[in-house]
Amino acid sequence: MTGLPPLKVREVVKGLQTLGFEKIRQKGGHAIFHHQDCRRALIPIHPAKTVSPYLLSDILKHLEIEENEFLRAAGRR
């Protein structure tokens, strides 16, 4: 079970950008974010929907980011 709330895509993008990721490209409904230390993330970009806590948890594990750190960067805590 994850302690993350469902977040809007805008909040996820804000959190990633605050942590040093930049959007390098987008094709269709998915954007790729890249960090200087070569970490990459594929984020679904569907403005009318939220990103589920389970998907967000998987993305953060892949990027090796703590949930609390990400929520602070996204402005949720």
Domain that holds residue 63: 7-73
- The answer to the question of residue 20 being in a domain is yes
pLDDT of residue 48: 87
At 66, which CATH number?
A: 3.30.920.30
Show the DSSP H helices in 2-77 as ranges. 9-18, 53-63, 67-73
Are 21 and 41 spatial neighbours (Cβ–Cβ below 8 Å)? yes
- The answer to the question of residue 2 being in a domain is no
- The answer to the question of residue 29 being in a domain is yes
5-57 per-position pLDDT tens digit:
999 999 999 999 999 999 999 999 999 999 999 999 999 999 889 999 999 99
Number of folded domains that form the chain:
1
- The answer to the question of residue 22 being in a domain is yes
User: Would the pLDDT of 2 be above 80?
Assistant: no
pLDDT of residue 1: 56
Which residue has better confidence, 69 or 77? 69
